[in-house]
Amino acid sequence: MDEPQTSTNRLGKGMQLMAWVSLLGVLTLVFTAIDWRRYNPNGDAQGTSTGAINEVVLQANRQHHYVVNGLINGKKVIFLLDTGATEVSIPAHIASELSLPKLGRSQAYTANGVVNVFDTKIQSLQLGSIQLRNVQASINPGQNKDEILLGMTALKQIEFAQRGDQLTLRQYLID
């Protein structure tokens, strides 16, 4: 015969269940952080500055893409470097958070075809020690990801070289 459950037994089982749920929650957080670090191995790209040159070295992620945290107008963003993109392309939901102005309409030619975009200008764009000013960009209402495509309107202002799974970005400072 089974003994009737006492309130102490029920409390003990409840505490045990809460412990397991807490453990699963912690493990989920840990593995999410590990997975994010694999996607964006450049979360803290500081770079170096020698006075005449600002340099940032990026590590490719597992998909061989270069993803890096940066700043637009002083606000944190995530960039995906894209040498095939003519301009810096900002998803509309991020542009709204950054309060970027819509300066006109135009069309962009993407891998998915022609899309209507809004022209904008970024006052300040920063990757580690590299800082760019007045960068032409587009706001793309059809871009749903949380990354900003760092296209050639920014990349043409710096030198970049790939060796293995590292990409070195250099900004030469001109007086």
pLDDT (0 to 100) of residue 28: 63
pLDDT (0 to 100) of residue 38: 58
CB 143 within 8 A of CB 99: no
* pTM of this structure: 0.77
Going by C-alpha positions, the residue among 87, 80, 78 that lies closest to residue 135 is: 87
Please give the Cα distance from 32 to 18 (Å, whole number).
Answer: 21
- The dihedrals phi and psi of 58, each to the nearest 5 degrees, come to -110, 145
Class of domain 48-172: mainly beta
pLDDT (0 to 100) of residue 161: 95
Strand order in the sheet with 166-172: 48-49, 53-59, 166-172, 159-163
Domain regions of the chain by residue span: 1-39, 48-172
For the chain of 175 residues, list the mean pLDDT of each consecutive stretch of 10: 67 79 69 57 80 92 93 96 93 97 92 91 96 97 93 96 94 83
How do 130-140 and 88-91 pair as beta strands? Answer: parallel
pLDDT (0 to 100) of residue 119: 97
